[in-house]
Chains A and B, each alone.
Chain A
Amino acid sequence: MKCANLTLGLAIAALAAGCGSIERSRALNDPGVPAAATAQQVCSNCHGIDGNSVSPNFPRLAAQQKDYLVAQLTGFRTHHRSDPAGFEYMWGLSRHLTDAQIEGLAAYFAAQKPVANAPGDPALAVRGAQVFKQGVPAKEIPPCQSCHGVDGQGNGAFPRLAGQHADYIEKQLLVFQRTDERPEGAVMKTVAHLLTRDNMAAVANYLQGLPPK
């Protein structure tokens, strides 16, 4: 029995010595870890392996604009983006990513194929389509599509919104409207400050149901 114990102990020690592949590493402070490994081994836990997150607590990243993703990850790393979901979950994870890893992660998720999300509330979505396409002229709120694209696909620093979780969009609109926690999105503060809660819910429900294009 003693011998068996010793063998087991030695086997564990051998494993502890480390023979794991860096291709499957979950280390977040090793510049040698490929971005795809981090995306699959760490980011996927919340955002999905293909970036199509299941829980609306976590934004969908599939086919997201690469520039936007780089800006967000950099914002988390430098603490410039400080909304609660950002600092609670992302500050720590991003703190030792290199610029190259951030580029790689952004490229990984930008290249993923978006999957249709569940349709939003139909009545809200109808009103939301109006806000998205025409804005709210009475309040001088411009149409969202003028920056985010007619299909909500985004453009460079302007994020893709099509198929994004409605809950996430609403919460971020509130962050823009009520706080300065996302200074890089200052342009959204101007746009969002006159949006009503109903406008936000409407446009968010419309966007969640937008099919991937």
Chain B
Amino acid sequence: MRRIAATEASRTGWSRGHIVPTLFVLVTLLVAATQARAIPVFNRQTGQNCVACHAGGQFPDLTSYGRLFKLTGYTIGEHALPLAAMGVASYNKTRSTASPDPSFDSPANLPKDGNLIFQTGSVFLGGKVTNNLGAFVQFTYNNYDHQSASDSHWIGHTVSDNLDVRYVDRFIQPGRDLIVGATMNNNPGVQDVWNSIPAWGYNVVPGSTGPATTPLVAGGLAQNVAGFGAYAYWNRTLYAEVTGYRTANGVWSFMSQGFNAERGDQAIVKGVNPYWRLALTHDWGPHSAMVGTFGFDAKVFPDPTDPTGSTSNYRDVGVDGQYQYILDPHAVTLTASYIHEHVHYADSLANQAPPLDPDGSLGLPLTNASDTLKMFRAKASYSYNAKYGGSVSYFDVTGSTNSALQSSAFDPSNPGMLLDGSQGVTGNLSGNPGTSGWTLEAFWLPIQNVRLGIEYTMFNRFNGASSNYDGFGRSAKDNDTLFLYAWAAF
């Protein structure tokens, strides 16, 4: 399992230096709003509106046609300027930033809280290259990428983002329609066309919040690996794909730009790691449905700076489904996925003294040799006339308890007193990753390539408990987050 920022949205800072990029984004949004002809790559390539490929205009959810556009390798249409850009400005407010322990500086833990920020900006390259070859390549500048080790100020950074290059052919005869393709991509699942797979399913607005610990296939190796795979879609009914992922280094390092020691080293995987996907689909009237299964086996070296010895072996297996009803002016998309992960840790991580108790004085158990993690997510979204809409989503992560996750514990020599690592807001007393909650969203598209939205995420459970999850009295609901965003592509 991987650790990601619990409330990634709430961990960034604000200074006068950020006013300029924020203003830039706001001005850009205004310009975009007045020049509806400024349009992204695929839009120029086909001349179609966003709503042709995105359900109710709600990017990135795909329509039936959008799925076929992607499966046929982004090759429909004509060559166009292969360049587009996207910007996200956001504001978030966490329900409580109070810390019962005065030794914690709460604003330092939630430094982005209550500030309007320029979150990310992306550049897209790609579109149709030949009649069979097309690409979707994204590079992203994250204005709040990581904090300086010396003085904790936030550092912006440009990194590789989603990449998917395809070579496709489609054979049509009476009663037979076969799409066969090859994909090169840098995130298991980014090549998928249904929005129930983690890569495109949930928390897709940059900066939005969700569970702290998620299975590896849910972005754990995104932009760390290079995948090469083949797929087939038969009679618009059966989809099958196998892709192997290796470390995106050497000649493939263009897919993993941006890693460094300060922001975190690139993960190193051993050999070729298989990802597979099967899906059954059916369209009837204005409805379309998919039931599917997917999985990812990966061997990850525990220390990316020393990729030798035994690896942590992950086995993720998922089942998912999607239902869509699209009949203008209505677009409804329902998605659900359940992922079961079993990880067997590398020797250097298994049965070790936990980070909080290196000398064993606290009496914490040794770290586990293996863990299981289960994640269920479901989302229902509706869009009216590709203008207004909303969504409700639910997430529930459960898993085995592991002292490796503990960042606070009771002090055995001072009964009733707590010891703590360094994490206040994201502290974990139990060592259990269990997190669940709901996200409500409403959005408005004043023009087709600008989306303004408001999200509210409510946590029922966080780091294994609904109350006092950190040992210092913080409740899961204290992490409830209001999130406003302006998202534009042009």
Contact = CB atoms under 8 A, between A and B. Distances in A.
A155 B409 CA distance: 82
Contact of B285 (A18, A42, A49, A118): A118
Interface stretch (A52-60, A142-150, A187-195): A52-60
A5 B69 contact: no
B78 A27 contact: yes
A28 B427 CA distance: 56
Interface in B63-104: 64-65, 68-69, 72, 75-79
B77 A18 contact: no
Interface string A85-108: 101110111011000000000000
A29 B78 contact: yes
A6 interface: yes
Given A54-B285, A93-B47, A22 B132 contact: no
Nearest to A85: B328
B326 A57 contact: yes
B131 A18 contact: yes
Contact of A9 (B46, B128, B251): B251
B432 to A, nearest CB: 40
Contacts of B252: 5
Contact of A45 (B69, B132, B250): B69
B286 interface: yes
B51 interface: yes
Interface residues of A, number: 45
A119 B52 CA distance: 27
Given A26-B72, A55-B285, A88-B48, A96 B131 contact: no
A149 to B, nearest CB: 26
A171 interface: yes
Contact of B131 (A2, A20, A92): A20
Contacts of B78: 27-30, 96
B250 A26 contact: no
Contact of B133 (A16, A56, A91, A92): A16
Interface residues of B, number: 42
Interface stretch (B109-117, B149-157, B166-174, B353-361): B166-174
Nearest to A27: B131
Contacts, number: 115
Given A15-B133, A88-B52, A54 B283 contact: yes
B429 to A, nearest CB: 45
A124 interface: no
A88 B49 contact: yes
Interface string B267-286: 00000000000000001111
A92 B326 contact: no
B285 A171 contact: no
Contact of A6 (B46, B68, B251, B328): B251
B286 A55 contact: yes
A19 B133 CA distance: 10
Contacts of A27: 75, 77-78, 128, 131
A171 B327 CA distance: 11
A41 B72 CA distance: 9
A95 to B, nearest CB: 5
Given A41-B72, A54-B284, A93-B46, A5 B251 contact: yes
Interface of B: 46-49, 51-52, 64-65, 68-69, 72, 75-79, 128-133, 165, 167, 169-172, 177, 182, 184, 228, 250-252, 283-286, 326-328
Given A16-B133, A18-B133, A45-B65, 14 more contacts: A1-B250, A6-B251, A8-B228, A12-B167, A17-B130, A18-B131, A19-B132, A27-B131, A41-B76, A45-B76, A55-B326, A56-B327, A57-B327, A89-B52
15 contacts: A15-B132, A22-B131, A24-B171, A24-B172, A27-B131, A29-B77, A55-B64, A55-B285, A55-B326, A56-B285, A57-B286, A85-B328, A88-B48, A118-B285, A171-B328
Interface of A: 1-2, 5-6, 8-9, 12, 15-20, 22, 24-30, 40-42, 44-46, 49, 54-57, 84-85, 87-89, 91-93, 95-96, 118, 167, 171
